[in-house]
Amino acid sequence: MPRGPKRPPAVADFSGRTAIVTGAGGEIGRAACLGLARLGARVLAVDLNEAGARETVEEIASEGGEAVAMAADVSSEADAAAFVGRAVSLWGRLDVLINNAGWQGPVTPLTTCTVEDFDRVMAINVRGVFLGMKHALPAIARQGGAVVNTASLGSYVATRNLSPYTASKHAVMGLTKTAALEVARQGVRVNAVCPGPVDTPLLREIETQQANGDFEGLRRKRTASIPTGRYAQPAEVADLMIYLASDRAAHITGQGIHINGGAYAA
Q: Which are the catalytic amino acids?
A: 165
Query: Contact, 44 vs 60, CB < 8 A?
Result: no
86 touches 70 (CB < 8 A): yes
- Sheet of strand 18-22: strand arrangement: 66-71, 42-47, 18-22, 96-99, 145-150, 188-195, 256-259
Task: With CA atoms as reference, report the closest residue to 54 among 67, 38, 40.
Answer: 67
Beta strands 188-195; 256-259: pairing state = parallel
Q: Report the amino acid identity of residue 247.
A: D
